[in-house]
Structures are given as structure tokens and as C-alpha cells.
Structure 1
């Protein structure tokens, strides 16, 4: 089941039609409504979600109450869970969400373990999301504001739906970093455009081969493996790196000029070997005594897709949980992933709770600064 987080800023862009140049600022939404403006963010979100209707049985939407997502998602027949409730409007008034509602919803969605956060709004909404989301968590914006300077939005609402469709159908989706930008609306209303960068977020885009390719569109395996190795090596600092088994991880060790255990697990620190062919108790002792996060680098078994439970039983459930999902680095070429024919990566740790924790979508490093989201599942 694909866990889709949904946030709709129902007042996004509401000031555009009545020449208020946006909706940010105290009292702006109320002023726009008094001038006859119509909120259209839910209509924009509906265009994106309609693309996903054929996959409704495969998607569970987590969202906020009423106009922040619940109403639109339910009207289209999706399974919906509400994680944040808007306060009741004053008598005779309209229910208007705030930046705090957006941020609280983002946090609640992250706590639910969603696979992707889809939000409808403008640059102000993107800023609110960015305040709560790590730059390593995938988000995608549905354009619904007056101004869209940020790179986290799809070009159209339907385009946003198409990108999510790729993810739901287990196709490779490249992750890219995109800037969150916004302008000073008070200056903008005086005719002054002053943009500012507020951060960046990770967004899924359609698959692009950014690695070196041969004339037939095939990846050059050695060049791609070099790029993958360079990306991982670039992350190596003082903490421990546990290197799992497999030919792809072996190439990484070769690039470091370190003898590795092809069918075992090695440990390096500051790009130096500190333990060869480690056992589960040895790994546990190392992790327990470490005063900083430990990284785990693994790859998949070609043709099968297993990342845990085949050839790396040293990586036990207690070790995996101690390391944490966010500290697991999966490396593989796109060619190797595509050979799975959209089948998910398999986790079979022997512990159902650990398998459940790992299931969903995980980032796979497929080149230098090139990552894709790929589904992970436990055996049925």
C-alpha cells in the first residue's frame, strides 16, 4: 500500500484574482474573500488526484480535516485517514487554515511514515513544508498559488499526478534537489520583486539518465559504479561505515583500495578497514560502543531483489533497528533495478516488525548525486 501524505492549503492563491498578489499576511485571506475571491486550491489538487483514481485500491491518503485534504480525497473515493483537525470556524465564517496548521500536519504525516508528501499551494506553503521536512524526504508540490518561484512544484497539477503515478506503479523515479524560493509580498505589492532562497527539498521527477551512457541508451556499468562509489565516499566522515556483501559494494571497496569480503560484512572508519568479515556479535558491540550514528551500505541481489535476509544474516534485526532506516544507504545501478521489472526490493530479516519498518519506499543511490525512490516489501 502506497502511503501518500496530502496537504492542501485551501486559501493558496486566493488573492490573485482580486489583485492582492497572494494570500500571505495577516487578514489577507479574509480580505480576498470579502472581495469575492474564490478558493481554487482544492480544484487544483483534484486534477492531480484524478490521475491516481485507477490506483485507489493501492493508495492510502493521510491528510488534514476538511478543506486541507480530507474533503477532496474522500470525494474521489480514496481511503483516507485524518492526522490533523482544523479548528471550527466562527459562526458564519469560513474555515481558514494557517501556516501552523500546515506545519502541524506535516509533522503528523511524517510520524505516520508516509512514502511521499504531496501538497497544493504556493511558495508560502512550500516554505511551511520546508520548515518541517528534512532535505532528504521526498515531497512534490501541486501549483496552486499566485507565485511559483520554488522548484519543488510540478509544471501543472496533472503533471504532479503523473509523477506520483510512476511511483505507485513501481517505476524508477529520480530524486532531485530543488530550491524553496519566495518573494517579499509587501515589497511585491509596491512593484518590487525580491526573491530569497529559504532552503531545499527533495522532489521526485521523471526518470532521467544522467549517468554516462552508451549509444544504445545502456548505462556504462564501470563508469556508473565509479559514480556510485564517489557519491558514497563523499559522505564518509569519522563515523563507522558497515559495508555489506555483493559485487556493487565490492567495487566501492576497490575504489577505496581496501580488501573486502565479497560474501561477508566489513567495517571501515575514515576510509580505513577496522574489521574484516565481521560477525553479528562483533557488529553489535561496535554499534553499541559508537558515540555517533553508524552508516550501513548495502546492495541488492541481482535478479532477486533481496537487500536483507540473503547472504547478509550478520545484519540482524537488532542491528538494523539500532542503525535506523535513515542511515541505510542502498546502492545499485539503474540497469540492475530495471531488471527487476518493477518488482520491489525484498526484506526478509526474520522479524516481522523490522520488515514492516523497512517496507515502503527507500532511496537508492544510482550515481553521483543521483538517487531514485524504489519500493521495498517483505515476502508475502
Structure 2
């Protein structure tokens, strides 16, 4: 089996600093964005014995000893990703593995289509497509399974949220097409789903949580259910951002990692988070501002997970991808998920 391997080195830089993507690399660098993809690429490549074709330097060669078949000139762009994939196809690869987010997946899909399976190692801010492994080690296991003949070739959706709408706190999810991907057990995430109107369920959950949030410090993740919590408290909580409420007052709106840490410094805080619909990610997709540093500061025992019953029923498994494997394992296990006014269901979280 020959595997094409390409890295978008700038993917995910906007996550912790509160950008809704990394389309504007200069802005991410100006705000102090940290490189995420190189670490993810190294983690995926660790102890992976495979026939890999890749690109030079930060697009692949820095992380693996695979054969270099494409060399970018200067700062890499989406065009480099497309050219690399054309080269992979010309070399007859059996699958393409990439490190990046939905934008990278879309760039690759434009070239590859359904010709060979593609597998994403999650490193972006937005990862709503169904071609991503739940984390880098899972991606490594899927590739090993593919080489053994154990992995299943499946059809998955390529999705992306409009970054322009995202910046304006509006969620517009677009479908670009169906790609072939690789699946092994629960190691490949589902694409995000937007469920129909669940307003009554959201209001019931929010009514319960708004009572809890009147006293104390709470970090509220993105999503419609948690926005409804803010609405019932009279707080202008963002739909797609992370906000901090203290004693019923909004003290940090659309906060980045640093602003969250400052807002909860010296306080007993709790995190309210809702998993992505159908996909099941609790941490690591669209809420990277709630970083491993924030979670450790708050404490795993102070995480409150909420979901409407319908969404939870259509989510096979929950998972976490904080970028810290030890923390992922500490969060994993069977947890309670608030599904109504004083009601909870038990659901397994995998790491």
C-alpha cells in the first residue's frame, strides 16, 4: 500500500486565539496563533511503518522519512496542496492522508474526488466533514488497519462552514460532495448534522442550567442549547464562540484561551459544553479556546455536558481530542449528559 501524506502547516492556528478559522494566516500570526499541525503530524507518523509519499519540509518531510515527490516554493498555499495531490495520484497511491481541517479536505477533494480514499488527521479549527479520524493516534491505527486489509472504505461527506458567516456568529454549513474515506471501529468521526427544530428541548435544558449558572463562574461553549441558556439569563451569549458568565453576568464574550484563563483565575469555575450533533466531539472541534490548559485549570470533575435527547440518540459515541492524550484519557469514560430539566443520560466518551 502506498500512502500520500500532505500537511497544511497553518491549519488550526486560529483555534485557541478565538478565530473561527485560519483562512487569514497573517491575522492568526499577528494575534499570536500557535502552530498546531506540525505536532499533530509528528504524532500521527510516530511508529508508523508505511510506504509514504510526501512533500518537502513543513508539508510532510519534516515529520516522516517518506519519499519526497513534491516541493513547495515559499509559504505553502492551497494550490500546493492540490498540486501535491495530483502528484500523489500520478504516482499511484492507494490513499491520501492529510493533516488539516475542512478547508484542506475541500482542497484535496477538488483534485481527488472519489478516485482514492482520503483520511484527515484533525488539526483545523472547523472539522465538520466525515473524513477525519477522531485524533492522530486513531488515524495511525486506521492506516495500519488499511494496510492489513481490516479498514472499511466508506463514503463520507465533505462539509465546511462559511467562515464569513462564522465570523458574524452565524452558522452556515455547506455540503461540497461525497468522498471515499477509511473507517475502523469508532476511530473515524461522523460528519456534523444539523437536526430539525428542537426548541422545546433546548428551552427545557436551558431553564434548568440557567438556575445553576446564577451563582458562580461558568465557561459556556458554542451551540444553540448554550446560547438559549444565555437568553434565559438575559445574557447576550454568542452562538459560535466561548463566553464566561460570573454570577449571572457576562464577563468575557467570544473569548480566546487567554481571556478565558484570565476570567477564571483564582475562581472555582465549571465548563458547560455540548457535543457536535451526530459527530460527537466534546472538546477539539470548533471550541479549541477551551484548551487543555483551561480544562486542567477548571478540573475534569467540573465539566458539565449537555445535549438534547434527539441529538444524543443520533450520536453513536462521544469523543474528546484536546491535543493532550493524558487529559483525553482522564475525561474518557461513562459520563452523565444533561438532557432535560433535572434529567440526565449516561453516555460513553472515548479518547
What TM-score comes out, normalization by structure 2 length? 0.51
The counterpart of 1:50, out of the listed 40, 46, 53, is 46
Counterpart residue number, 1:99: 78
Counterpart residue number, 1:190: 168
Q: Contact 1:3 / 1:61 at 8 angstroms: preserved in 2?
A: yes
The counterpart of 2:73, out of the listed 77, 87, 100, is 87
Q: Deviations over 1:184-227 (max 9, x none)?
A: 1011011001000001111111169xxxxxxxxxxxxxxxxxxx
Listed as ranges, the matches of 1:1-380 within 5 Å are 2-24=1-23, 28-52=24-48, 55=49, 59-73=50-64, 78=65, 80-88=66-74, 96-168=75-147, 170-206=148-184
Once residues 14 and 79 of structure 2 are traced to their aligned partners in structure 1, the CA distance between those partners, rounded to angstroms, is 20
Deviation, structure 1 residue 51: 4.4
Q: Contact 1:4 / 1:61 at 8 angstroms: preserved in 2?
A: yes
Q: Deviations over 1:147-203 (max 9, x none)?
A: 1100010111111000001123x2322111000000110110110010000011111
Once residues 137 and 97 of structure 2 are traced to their aligned partners in structure 1, the CA distance between those partners, rounded to angstroms, is 13
Once residues 78 and 86 of structure 2 are traced to their aligned partners in structure 1, the CA distance between those partners, rounded to angstroms, is 13
| DSSP-derived class of the 1:18 partner | coil
Q: Contact 2:146 / 2:152 at 8 angstroms: preserved in 1?
A: no
Highest CA radius of gyration, 1 or 2?
A: 1
Q: Contact 1:49 / 1:161 at 8 angstroms: preserved in 2?
A: yes
Once residues 141 and 68 of structure 1 are traced to their aligned partners in structure 2, the CA distance between those partners, rounded to angstroms, is 14
Once residues 188 and 166 of structure 1 are traced to their aligned partners in structure 2, the CA distance between those partners, rounded to angstroms, is 36
Deviation, structure 1 residue 19: 1.8
* Aligned Cα root-mean-square deviation (Å): 1.5
Once residues 146 and 117 of structure 2 are traced to their aligned partners in structure 1, the CA distance between those partners, rounded to angstroms, is 11
Deviation, structure 1 residue 134: 2.7
Q: Contact 1:51 / 1:158 at 8 angstroms: preserved in 2?
A: no
Q: Deviations over 1:5-33 (max 9, x none)?
A: 10100001111222221112xxx112211
Tell me which stretches of 4 or more aligned residues in structure 1 moved more than 3 Å: none
- Which consecutive residues of structure 2, in runs of 5 or more, have no partner in the other structure? 187-351
Q: Contact 1:51 / 1:165 at 8 angstroms: preserved in 2?
A: no
Q: Contact 2:145 / 2:151 at 8 angstroms: preserved in 1?
A: yes
Once residues 100 and 7 of structure 1 are traced to their aligned partners in structure 2, the CA distance between those partners, rounded to angstroms, is 12
| DSSP-derived class of the 1:38 partner | coil
Counterpart residue number, 2:294: none
| DSSP-derived class of the 1:16 partner | coil
Deviation, structure 1 residue 45: 1.6
Q: Contact 2:131 / 2:182 at 8 angstroms: preserved in 1?
A: no
Once residues 28 and 93 of structure 2 are traced to their aligned partners in structure 1, the CA distance between those partners, rounded to angstroms, is 34
Once residues 7 and 42 of structure 1 are traced to their aligned partners in structure 2, the CA distance between those partners, rounded to angstroms, is 11
Once residues 125 and 47 of structure 2 are traced to their aligned partners in structure 1, the CA distance between those partners, rounded to angstroms, is 23
* Aligned length, in residue pairs: 186
Q: Deviations over 1:85-140 (max 9, x none)?
A: 1113xxxxxxx311101101110011111121000100000000000013141111
Q: Contact 1:174 / 1:207 at 8 angstroms: preserved in 2?
A: no
